[in-house]
Structure 1
Amino acid sequence: MTESTTTLRDGHAPVPPPPAEIRAERRRLIESIRALRRLLDGRRAFELADRRRLNREARDRGRAEAACAKTLQRVHERRLRRERSLARRLDGLDGKREHQERRALMVLRRESIESSLRATRLTTSDVNGIGAGLIRDLTAAGIRTAADFTRVSWGKAPNGKGGEVLYIHRPHGRKVHINGIGEHRGRPLMEWRRAAVARAKARAPQELPPDQRHRIAEIIEAERARLQAEAAELPREADAAREDAVRLRTEALSRLTEAAREAARSAAERRAEFDAMAEQLAALQAELAAHRDRYGDAGRRLRRAQTRALRPLPAVPAPYIPPAPPAPPAHGAHGEPGPDDGTGSGAGAPADGPWAEAAPGTQVRASLAWLLPVALFALFTVAGVGELGDTTPPLWLRAGSRLTALAATTELLRLWVPRRRPWTAGPMPPGTGAQCAGVFLALVAAGMFGSGDTGVLGAAWTTGGLSALLLATGTVRRRKG
């Protein structure tokens, strides 16, 4: 500030500047301080936004680490499942070879039996009672060999008259009736077929030929070699998958680190600007105080503005340090989860009680214990005070107590909910506990007064005075904080 005093020509006594010049200089200093205060008012919003940014960066890093750990765990579990599956399939190859040999032998025997039955032709000398005429009728119905029918049964006649007749069943479900073949000729016909089937089974091969057995063994050995090669490839596939997961995590963390570095540089520049403005504001306040001490009061109009301009600077919130993300589970050389070291993920901050307050800038979240006073005020909102007994308080007390409890519940939730969110976590404002206790005791005192019992008036006045003291203390602490 340039000196506005003048000196007499002889240099003995300084002459104070005119009052108008003093007021103009005082007004200039006050307006400059106001402008800087308005700029510094944005620091709290800046720190809150920076806290959100740091929380978001920590959350993104934690997600990248968690995604990598989850991928490594999936790779490990998939490898274990495939190893167990391949081991079961390798162990079952011997049983599979025996099963295929049995199936091949069954097919070979069935083909041999069917071939023998087709070669066994029906003649008049084979079945007693069946002559050439019946042979011609059977041939016309498609029954020439033992393979052309399976069994005989009784059923109604085709025209529905004459009672039951004997039917001969063909291999594919059809059945025919031959006139002249009844029970006396049907039984020898089936005996002839059973004898032909018995002879065909006796002639059928009892074991596989060596060439078929060798061919099945080659197929099984080829499958064994394929499964062993697949099992040998599993570690390489798992290693490649783990390398991809680690590479993706490294790339993601590199991007996040670069973005965080740039954001931190911008935040540091912005914070330095705020610090410079705070220093400039302190210098202007010192200059204003010196000007006031030197020239005294500048008038009633500037007195209040001067007092507001000389208020101390608000407390600068400490830079927020986000909590470290949980470390990913350790993995062994093959991706297996390492043993738990039992150290845990870190000690948490001590919880603040419903009436305890943490200093500004501490990195704790509002405690869940604040739900207790919220529940109490919600109860008073519904039930009122002094209404649980036989007495009925006045209408103004019933309405006023409910409105007061509702206002306290709303205010507590407004303060508590944002401080529970990860991106806006923080302690409850200083003085909130004292204000909360004061409102609670005020409601209790109002209930005592509304009960009409003269024996509790002393306690009611004491409780009311204590509530007023707590409310005043909490209000002062809130304003200072």
Structure 2
Amino acid sequence: MIDSTTALQSTDRAEIRADRRRLVEALRAHRRLLGARRPFELADRRRLNREGGARSRAQARRDKALQRIHEKRVRSERSLTRRLDGLDGKRAGREHRALAVLRRESIERSLRSTRLTPSQVNGIGGGLVRDLAAQGITTAADFRRVSWGKAPNGRGGEVLYIHRTEGRKVHINGIGEHRGRPLMEWRRAAVARAEARAPKELPADERHRIEEIIETERLRLREELDRIPKDAESARAEIEEAHAEHLVALTATEREAQERADLRRAEFDDMAERLLALRAELAAHVDAHGDLGLIERRARSRALRPVPTAPPLVPAPRSPKGTAEDARPAPDAGSAEALPAPDVRAAGAQDDRADHVRTAPGVRAGLGWLVPVALFGATAVLGAGETAATPLWFAVAARLVALAVVVDLLRLWIPRRGLRTPGPMPAGTGLVAAGAFLGLAAASMFVDPEHAAGGAPWAVAAVSALLVLVGASRRTGGGDGTAGPTG
């Protein structure tokens, strides 16, 4: 005979185990689903980092484009101003060239009108005049000078040649030194008379014509100069408009991604609340019905293990003002999946301040810093004033110090020349470099017997120490970073 009470208790215990198993399985299922929150938060943090990087790159492109526009405007205004200032000199040059042309034409006309006749040149009669005319020499403009040279047939020694204006030289039988000299004196006299009769100044109409040309050029340059600010402003407006459109597109994309992230995060929050409810229900079930054995305890302990949380990322991602990052709901502090949230706004403000210093338009480390780099590089290779009496330890130490200074300067200079990380060199860097160079010079003087006994090494060493101290204090004092190659 079966006891009905025992059967009822067995049935109730099986139902209790089934309810306990259902609760444990539900807990394990929710825990597995909630375990995806950590990779989700990491991926969402990377997304925010990418969005901040995209905005930084867009801002850098905008600043670079505006800087190019400003530089182009400055160059154009400077060039046009120089051209405007040089118009008076240009007018004087034009007048000088026009007067030179006018005088040359007048002299040419006068020389062509001065014909060669037997009565004008001593020793040259009608026959030589006809011989000269046969060679194309009839006026003072037909030849330039005379010279001696070998005879055309190679015999008879040297003869006198007459150089024509066209460039060909001819020899006239019967014209030698005694007749060539009067011929050249006649031409020089003709040139002197032509130059004396040539105009000494431009006519009024020619000066007026040049003045009109210069004034027209002046008006054109002034119009271009007045148009440069308008063109620059138009180009700047286009850049700003394109940048604003790009920011609108970025904001829309970020908002969509943030909305999807918020929906996913809300799902995780619901899972967390359901997990807490299931834990409370399981705890109440355990309190009501007690322990059901080792297997049940193990399953329950596995189901109640804490969910791993996502560690905070450093640096925190920067989010644009007013975007979805500010509107993100905070996780429930009492839930098992609550993540530690770093201060995104404070980190973003710090990064924005740093970017304001680094990416200021037109502020970059100058190329002049290559001079001390080259100087210390040569010292690292050739040494610091070494002689035959220089100890080996000093030669090695001087080269190592020069190499260290080269590495330090390049470490500071190369990142500050980049397009994404521009910036000035730290204040005091030039003073430290100059002090290091003077220190090497003082050390070389100390080890040199010829200079060690004098006071020059001590003076150089004192100046070197002063420069290093001042430069180091400026570098550690957080200067504005506008140091040049000399400090």
Scaled to the shorter chain, the TM-score interval is: 0.5 to 0.7
Mapped pair 1:362 → 2:342: yes
* Aligned-pair CA distance for 1:305: 2.5
Amino acid at match of 1:165: V
- Contact kept, 8 Å, 1:118 with 1:145, in 2: the verdict is yes
Q: Find the aligned partners of 1:324 and 1:112 in 2 and give their Cα distance.
A: 82
Aligned to 1:147, the other structure's residue is in SS state coil
What's the counterpart of residue 77 of structure 2?
83
Q: Deviations over 1:315-354 (max 9, x none)?
A: 466799623689xxxxxxxxxxxxxxxxxxxxxxxxxxxx
Q: Deviations over 1:445-478 (max 9, x none)?
A: xxxxxxxxxxxxxxxxxxxxxxxxxxxxxxxxxx
Q: Find the aligned partners of 2:310 and 2:92 in 1 and give their Cα distance.
A: 84
Q: Find the aligned partners of 1:267 and 1:52 in 2 and give their Cα distance.
A: 12
Select the residue among 302, 317, 322 that pairs with 2:317: 322
* Aligned-pair CA distance for 1:166: 1.3
* Aligned-pair CA distance for 1:247: 1.3
What's the counterpart of residue 221 of structure 1?
215
What's the counterpart of residue 101 of structure 1?
95
What's the counterpart of residue 36 of structure 2?
42
* Aligned-pair CA distance for 1:308: 1.2
- Contact kept, 8 Å, 1:19 with 1:298, in 2: the verdict is no
- Contact kept, 8 Å, 1:26 with 1:291, in 2: the verdict is yes
Runs (4+) of structure 1 moved beyond 6 Å? Answer: none
What's the counterpart of residue 143 of structure 1?
137
Select the residue among 258, 281, 285 that pairs with 2:275: 281
What's the counterpart of residue 249 of structure 1?
243
* Aligned-pair CA distance for 1:179: 1.9
What's the counterpart of residue 20 of structure 2?
26
* 1:73-472 → structure 2 map (5 Å cutoff): 73-315=67-309, 322-323=317-318, 361-362=341-342
* Aligned-pair CA distance for 1:183: 1.0
* Aligned-pair CA distance for 1:20: 4.4
Q: Find the aligned partners of 2:166 and 2:267 in 1 and give their Cα distance.
A: 98
Amino acid at match of 2:318: P
Change (3 A) 1:46 1:72: same
- Contact kept, 8 Å, 1:59 with 1:325, in 2: the verdict is no
Q: TM-score, normalised by structure 1?
A: 0.62
Q: Deviations over 1:103-134 (max 9, x none)?
A: 00000000111111111111111212222222
Aligned to 1:95, the other structure's residue is in SS state helix
- Contact kept, 8 Å, 2:149 with 2:161, in 1: the verdict is yes
* Aligned-pair CA distance for 1:44: 1.5
- Contact kept, 8 Å, 2:73 with 2:228, in 1: the verdict is yes
Q: Find the aligned partners of 2:341 and 2:223 in 1 and give their Cα distance.
A: 61
Q: Find the aligned partners of 2:9 and 2:16 in 1 and give their Cα distance.
A: 13
What's the counterpart of residue 369 of structure 1?
none
Q: Find the aligned partners of 1:228 and 1:104 in 2 and give their Cα distance.
A: 26
Q: TM-score, normalised by structure 2?
A: 0.61
Report the RMSD for the aligned CA atoms in angstroms.
2.9
Q: Find the aligned partners of 2:66 and 2:232 in 1 and give their Cα distance.
A: 9
| Count of aligned pairs between the two proteins | 324
* Aligned-pair CA distance for 1:19: 4.8
Change (3 A) 1:37 1:158: farther
Aligned to 2:152, the other structure's residue is in SS state coil
Mapped pair 1:64 → 2:58: yes
Change (3 A) 1:116 1:130: same
- Contact kept, 8 Å, 1:47 with 1:317, in 2: the verdict is no
Aligned to 1:153, the other structure's residue is in SS state strand
